[in-house]
Chains A and B, each alone.
Chain A
Amino acid sequence: GDSVTQMEGPVTLSEEAFLTINCTYTATGYPSLFWYVQYPGEGLQLLLKATKADDKGSNKGFEATYRKETTSFHLEKGSVQVSDSAVYFCALGSNAGGTSYGKLTFGQGTILTVHP
């Protein structure tokens, strides 16, 4: 079945440091890939997405490239801010019946803490 593996955290960085959170997946077919962010006490917010191989998703300075050959979708940001402190989830969207998308399969999440 589908699965997502994220690098184990927590990750602690100083402000303006470079961020990488690794994500690899196992899936049949051609899934879509997502990064969601969860701030304390809140639901999940979509951060970025990519729907096919070699697509790059980007938002708010974060980027991730859909690499089919390595089955990866690593999240990167060149300069993190204190406000980026949150839990980050990599997710895989399965294709249900070819006409729409079914369940999301999530990784276990990576806690990011950014210090001033």
Chain B
Amino acid sequence: DAGVTQSPTHLIKTRGQQVTLRCSPKSGHDTVSWYQQALGQGPQFIFQYYEEEERQRGNFPDRFSGHQFPNYSSELNVNALLLGDSALYLCASSLVGGGSGTQYFGPGTRLTVL
């Protein structure tokens, strides 16, 4: 049973560029959430997707956008990159109404903005 997978593992971009990160949820899960984890901090919620729609959003600017596909996989897009966007981006999957809403995390994508 494959867990949550993310690609790429590492990414280096320059200021002003755009980036797309990808996530495949755990088998059987239908909901994907994205988090940003700055160095030495706890993860911060970006947004959550269910049924191909954004259900909930954290305090992040519109430069951060996402998409969920019919197979439940998801993308996180960040436009006009800033130095402060450098972080570990974590994807988590869960099942609507399943259990306690437990979210299972992928290994993350380390984004460095130069």
Contacts and interface: CB of A to CB of B under 8 A. Distances in A.
Interface string A42-69: 1111100101000000000000000000
A104 interface: yes
Given A101-B100, A102-B48, A96 B105 contact: no
A93 B107 CA distance: 20
Interface stretch (A11-19, A71-79, A106-114): A106-114
B16 interface: no
A46 B44 CA distance: 17
Interface in B90-110: 90, 92, 94, 96-98, 100-108
Interface residues of A, number: 27
Interface residues of B, number: 30
Given A32-B100, A34-B102, A46-B102, A109 B42 contact: yes
Contacts of A49: 100, 102
A25 interface: no
Contacts of B4: 43
Interface of A: 4, 32, 34, 36, 42-46, 49, 51, 89, 91, 93, 95-96, 99-109
